Structures are given as C-alpha cells and as structure tokens.
Structure 1
Amino acid sequence: MSRGDNSGKGKTSRRQEGKGKSRSNANDKGKSNYGNKPYVKSKSFAKKASNTAPKKLTDSDEIRLNKYVANSGVCSRRDADLYIKTGSVWVNGKPVTEMGYKVKLTDEVKFDGRLITPHKKEYVLLNKPKGFVTSTSPEKTRTVMDLVANASKSVLKPVGRLERNTTGLLLFTNDVDLEKKLTHHKSGVRKIFHVELERNLKYEDLQKIENGIKLEEGFINVDEISYIEGASKNEIGIQLQSSKNGIIHKLFEHLNYSVVKLDRVIFAGLTKKDLPRGHWRILTEQEVINLRMM
C-alpha cells in the first residue's frame, strides 16, 4: 500500500469519486455540498451554520402531491406528474389523478401499492476526529451527532460505528434501506484502515494476519494487509469486510502489538479526498448511485 495524501493513507488503489452533481430543489439553493467549518470545541455543539437547512414541514402543512412523491426519493417531480396522471399514486386509499392536488404529512400516500414518506433521503460523509463517540443518544460526552448537527434538518443516523479514538470516514443517512444494506454482515463493503503500531510489525506476524487469525469472535480474514510505502514498519494498511467492534485492535493485540492510531481512509468506495478532519460533505448523486449498486 502506498502512502497517500488527504485522500487516505494505506489504500490499495485510488478510486475516483463520482462526478455527478447532487440533486437540488428550491430549498437547496445556495447550500454547499461541504460543511463550512470544522468542529470547534465549545459549550454549545450545535451552533447555527451559515448554510442552514430548509424549514421542516409540520403535520398541518400541505404540499403538492408531486413534490411529496419526489421527496420520497422514488422519482423526479416531473415523473411524479406522469405517475399521478396514470393513477399510480393513491392517497388515503383512493387513486388521485388531479394535478396540483395537495396532501398533508398525516395522509397515507402509496406509490404502486407501496407506502411512501416525503422525507428526502440525505447522505452526509464525515471525516471523524478523535474523542467522539458514535451514538445518537444525548450524552454528556461528545458524540458524532454534534459534528453533523448543522448538516440537515432530517434525522440522520451513522452507518455502523467508529470507536471513540478511531478517526476517519463515517457515513450518515436517513435512508434506512441503504443503512441496513451497508451494515449487513454479508454486504461485502470494502473498508481500508491506516494502522499505526507502537513498534514495527514483524513480517512473519504480517503473514499470520494475512492468512487469517482465530479469535474468540471467530476466524477473522483480511482482504489485504501490507506495510505503508515510504513509512516505518509500524505503519500498516489493512483492508477487511468485518464490522465487528474493535476487531483491528484485537487482531494486533493477539500478536502482542498495541494500536496507537487507527484511521478509516476508505469506506464503500468513498475516500477522504478534499475532506479535512472534522468536516462533513453531502454525497454526490453518482456516489449515492454507486452505494445503491453495491
């Protein structure tokens, strides 16, 4: 593995990020794909950002049916008009074909027989710094939710978790289906970490990890492991699919090594390119498509 730049140390190959532009609507004008500022320690974590998200609808608000359908993520607003005309959209048990028809958030809307909700699916990528717990519960300690508090008005959840002192890429979304897909133990999501040990890793120990290690959690296979090119032998690049908590620490501890630093530099094809520590950005449309195709 070569020693990389901000796009991630320890990666086996450089994968160009998708160049598709994010979809936008009237509420997104002027909103950058990137978080304006890194996290700054303060008494109040959730400071208002200059690129504030649009106002969240209440249950009493009415919106056009085509916008409701489009915001659910099933199609564009223009296509929604076509589906409405053909009777594919039902409201409260009845087909609606009227253009400009308005609905409330409390209404039951179905598209081709499937219940849909009008919440636009959002995807935010964070370059997590040390000292933050991956948790969605209010705690006295600092959580990753503090870092993305201004990224969206929607309720976003982390995809998987990183330990408090592990740094690197962490994805957030309100797309429940994709979150389940990426965290399933058979998903095969590629994750690459840059590991720094307290001492040089012996080549024979590197080979042991490469061949697989039997731990209490079971037999752990890695996809690839190698020394970081141009660095000391205590810097390792490791690629694996296991999502078991603390598994990398346990792999090296089994061979009497201590992990000093652990940084996730690639997750599901996403990299840290142009994303400084403590910053977040919104995924491009192409990146979202790539994730759904995995």
Structure 2
Amino acid sequence: MSRKQGTGGKKRPSGRGQRHNQDFRSGRDSGNASGKSLARGNAPMKKKSTPQKAEDSDNIRLNKYIANSGICSRREADEHIAIGLVTVNGQVVTEMGYKVKIDDDVRYDGRRINPEKKAYVLLNKPKGFATTTSEGKGRTVMDLVANATNARIKPIGRLGRNSTGLLLFTNDETVVKKFTNSKNGVSRLFQVELDKNLKFEDLKSIQEGFKIDGKLIAVEEISYIDGQSKNQIGLKIKNTGNTIIRTIFDHFKYDIIKIDCVAIGHLTKKDIPRGHWKHLTEQEVNTLRML
C-alpha cells in the first residue's frame, strides 16, 4: 500500500508508532527535523573513513594470484602466505590482502608460479606465416591465434615461414620442457616432399644415423609414404624445429619442396582445417603431460 506524505512536515499518528516517510524523488525525509533536502550537498555528515585508493586493474590479490596458478584454493593460499611460504620479488610477504602485479616474481616454496589459467592451442599452420612472437616480422603465427585465449601463450618449437602443419601453443612451462628436453622430447611426424626420388641407400643412411662435422644426426623413423612416389617421405623426429630436416636432406643433395607437420605425439590435424586452431581437450592435455 502506498503511503501519503503529511503536510507541513507533520507526521500522521499510527497505532503502530510513527511511520518514516521519504520522498525518493526529492530526497526530502519527513523525519528530518530541519526540513532540509537530503539531496546531494545537504546530506548529514558521516563519520570520516580512511580514503580508499582507486582500484588498479593491473593489481591482483596475492591469494587469488596463487589460486589462479592451480596450486591451491584462496583459503589455503592465505594459510601459506601467513606462515611465510610465499615471496614477492624476493621478499617474504605475510600480509593478508597484499596485491601484486601480473608480472611480479611470485614464488611458492621457492618455485616461481604463473597466475594464468593453463591454455593449450593447436594450430594447423598455413604457408606465409613466421613462427615468432616478435613484432615487425610481417605476418606471424601469433596473428592466427590472437583470438584463441587471453593467456600469454607461445609456440613450442618452430615451423619455417613456408612450412605447414601442426604447431602447439601453451603457457604451461612443464609441457614446454617436455618438448625441449634433448633426451626425451616429444615425437613429431613430418611429410616431406623432395625435388627428386629419395634413393634407398640414402634412406638407409638417414635411418641408421650419420655425422656432420662430428655431430651425430639421427631420426626416429624414416620411410617412403605408401601409394606415393619416392619423393614423398615420412619422417619422425623429436627435435622442436624443422631445421634438422633441411640439414639432413642438404647433406644428401636433395632440395625440399614442402614440409608439413602432420602429428605431434598423439595430436593430429583431424578436424582442423589449414589456418584454423582448436583448444586441446582435457584428455588430450592429460595424455600430453604423460608423454
């Protein structure tokens, strides 16, 4: 039921005590003895409080920073902070509500942490794009995945500007190390087109391994591709780039017409058209971590 405003600032009696009426349009309150408007400029004095600094969008609470890294929940992060397990730029921080910048050096129990959610993007690279994160290099693979995620992902390894095929991007340093580990690494399968048929004796030499300037050059597998001419070669290596491929065939006096990465570990180009990308599924990520 609506309430009527009394005249002359008087309150109407009620069996339940006085009603507190306010004109929300004018800001006047019938319970205000002075009769002054409570509009801006005439509001009653409030108790002074400590001025609050404007929120800096570049800052993030330390407990949230830690929680975003996947180490623990915010509540658990507060406990870790309180007992001195967290440092920021080399200094132990135990203050609750402490804020950090996204690029600060934050460490938990001595190990640097990344507050970004882990992202894994698989691109089927077309020709004409350089594999680099640097600007001023013309069209790059970063242009192709610009809308994939807000995370600061980077390509693992590289494909030449005119090479095509699969390229994996991530901000997960654990996965990056798997690929760059010289002893283990992750297998990549390439389809290579040569300017002429590969001689069988050259194929055998590549399979068995050979030395260039005293350095052993070895591949996991090499074979002719079934149903195609002998200049179409399948090559599996664990090196993160494709420069080793050119080194191999240059040594045996073959020119390379095309290099296409068709598989990275268990990942293939299925359902990824050239120039498109996809996010890895949880199952694909888990398998990648176990390689």
TM-score (norm 2): 0.68
Pick from 167, 181, 184: which aligns with 1:184? Answer: 181
Task: Sort the Cα spacing of 1:266 and 1:108 in 2 relative to 1 into closer, same or farther, 3 A.
Answer: closer
- Residue aligning to 1:58: 57
8 A Cα contact 1:129 1:277, kept in partner: yes
8 A Cα contact 1:89 1:110, kept in partner: no
- After the TM superposition, list the runs of 4 or more consecutive aligned residues in structure 1 that deviate by more than 4 angstroms: 89-96, 107-115
Instruction: Give, as a single letter, the amino acid of the residue that structure 1 aligns with 2:99.
Output: K
Q: Does 1:123 align with 2:115?
A: no
Q: CA deviation at 1:254?
A: 1.6
Q: Distance in 2 between matches of 1:159 and 1:140?
A: 18
8 A Cα contact 1:58 1:105, kept in partner: no
8 A Cα contact 2:188 2:263, kept in partner: yes
1:227-269 CA distances to partner (integer Å, 9 max, x unpaired)?
1111111111111223465111221222221111111111132
Which structure is higher in RCO with an 8 Å CA cutoff and minimum separation 6? 1
For structure 1, the 5+ residue unaligned runs are 1-56
For structure 2, the 5+ residue unaligned runs are 1-55
Q: CA deviation at 1:113?
A: 5.9
TM-score (norm 1): 0.68
Q: Distance in 2 between matches of 1:208 and 1:194?
A: 18
- Residue aligning to 2:268: 271
Task: Sort the Cα spacing of 1:64 and 1:205 in 2 relative to 1 into closer, same or farther, 3 A.
Answer: closer
8 A Cα contact 1:127 1:278, kept in partner: yes
Q: CA deviation at 1:188?
A: 2.7
8 A Cα contact 1:213 1:251, kept in partner: no
Summarize the alignment of residues 88-103 of structure 1 with structure 2, pairs less than 5 Å apart. Answer: 88-90=80-82, 93=92
- The number of residue pairs the alignment matches comes to 227
1:264-291 CA distances to partner (integer Å, 9 max, x unpaired)?
1111322111111111111122222222
Pick from 199, 204, 211: which aligns with 1:202? Answer: 199
Summarize the alignment of residues 219-238 of structure 1 with structure 2, pairs less than 5 Å apart. Answer: 219-238=216-235
Summarize the alignment of residues 28-47 of structure 1 with structure 2, pairs less than 5 Å apart. Answer: none
Larger-gyration structure (1/2): 2
8 A Cα contact 1:193 1:262, kept in partner: yes
Q: CA RMSD in A?
A: 2.7
- Residue aligning to 2:132: 135
- SS of residue matched to 1:105: strand
Q: Distance in 2 between matches of 1:228 and 1:174?
A: 35
- Residue aligning to 1:19: none
Q: CA deviation at 1:111?
A: 4.5
- Residue aligning to 2:76: 83
Q: CA deviation at 1:158?
A: 1.0
